[in-house]
Structure 1
Amino acid sequence: KQETQLKREIPAGWAVNTLSQIANITMGQSPAGESYNEDGIGTLFFQGSTDFGWLFPTPRQYTTSPTRMAKKGDILLSVRAPVGDMNIANADCCIGRGLAALNSKSRSDGFLFYVMKYFKQVFERRNAEGTTFGSMTKDDLHSLQVVCPEPGLLKRYDDIVSEYNKMIFTRSLENQDLIKLRDWLLPILMNGQVKIK
């Protein structure tokens, strides 16, 4: 059928929704500056995409006065330059003004993740054309239009994708642990505290 809002055809049974219709969205809010620390005291805190890794952010800052929270498994989306960068929260955490947290209302987090990957490409294309996106407001994010498959197809898609995502997430967490171990072990080996036989 022809979709008038998008000016293109979409399959029968599919629908055009706004992002806020399919996702729970929490915009970040920064806690008081004096509550920040790097000593692991309080709640894990991410201000923006600075600590983003390949898939998960690297814990660095904490806050004793958390404001807006993201749950473990939520998509962390950068809403300040670079707009659209994403990671997955690997623990409950506080999010600052540079981030938004998203999760699917229908538990189709795999679908939502790849929809947001698509939007990242859209933002990059607009930036390349000179339409700079310094930041994204709550209204901008809530009103993004998403083409959604009919529920049966969406469930089948998510059943397949979620297994692959679990495997990717597990391996990414293992990689983070190995990086920590390497960073701890390498200096000890270099200064001769430990010898390998």
Structure 2
Amino acid sequence: MFIDNMSSDCIKGTLSDIADITMGQSPSGSSYNEDKNGTIFFQGRAEFSFRFPTVRLYTTEPKQMAYTNDTLISVRAPVGDLNVAHTDCCIGRGLAAAHSKTNHQSFILYTISSLKKQLEVFNGEGTVFGSINKKSLIEMPIIIPPNKKLDEFEAIVSPIDSSIRNNYDENCHLIKIRDSLLKKLVSGELDVSNLDI
């Protein structure tokens, strides 16, 4: 919509023109837990899945936060993998969060996704493994459409992103029901021997 058909009213800019970037900072290891005590914590891309990261860890000492629908960016090898924050969460040093300055969060997600090739260059840099720092990230060159076009884009794409989120929530709910029923079936608490199938 914007890259292949760039109109004359688009301008060249950088990622920092449209998004606030928060670089992650890891809390003390002693604050980590799997008991749902504190704030959801994502260290890096290890928790990434199709769209939303899988919750595994919590921290009682959150340092840097990402907020609901922020784009989460892997800043350590592999640089450039993306997910979306399902809820407010703490991010470790393997991640950065991008938050729209103008309430065009879907545009932020797909703009950063379109930068995949530029971001992958950073996987070959560094002495041990690839990484990208804040300066390099915020200076990534992008095309910025006028606000009217961004509003049109959000009107089309944001409902699609909402549907993906709703489907994800429904899947999570169904998984919990399945796991609960399986536990009862295996333990014999739920008797299905008289079912006519």
Length-normalised TM-score, structure 1:
0.86
What is the match of residue 151 of structure 1?
Answer: 147
Distance 1:120 1:195 in 2: 52
1:116 aligns with 2:100: no
What is the match of residue 70 of structure 2?
Answer: 74
Query: 2:86 pairs with 72, 90, 96, which one?
Result: 90
Secondary structure at 2:115 match in 1 = helix
Distance 1:194 1:29 in 2: 46
1:165 positional shift: 1.2
What is the match of residue 171 of structure 1?
Answer: 167
- Percent identity reads 46
Query: 1:50 pairs with 46, 51, 58, which one?
Result: 46
Distance 2:74 2:181 in 1: 33
What is the match of residue 161 of structure 1?
Answer: 157
Distance 2:159 2:166 in 1: 11
What is the match of residue 59 of structure 1?
Answer: 55
Distance 1:185 1:51 in 2: 26
Q: Which runs of 5+ in 2 are unaligned?
A: none
Distance 1:175 1:120 in 2: 28
Distance 2:26 2:114 in 1: 27
1:192 aligns with 2:188: yes
Q: How many residues are treated as equivalent by the alignment?
A: 187
User: Which deviates more, 171-180 or 77-86?
Assistant: 171-180
Length-normalised TM-score, structure 2:
0.86
1:155 positional shift: 1.2
Amino acid at match of 2:72: L
Query: 2:16 pairs with 17, 20, 24, which one?
Result: 20
Q: RMSD of the TM alignment (CA)?
A: 2.2
1:179 positional shift: 2.4
Q: Which runs of 5+ in 1 are unaligned?
A: 1-8
1:36 positional shift: 0.7
Distance 2:22 2:80 in 1: 15
1:38 aligns with 2:34: yes
What is the match of residue 142 of structure 1?
Answer: 138
1:176 positional shift: 2.1
Amino acid at match of 1:168: I
Query: 2:100 pairs with 100, 104, 107, which one?
Result: 104
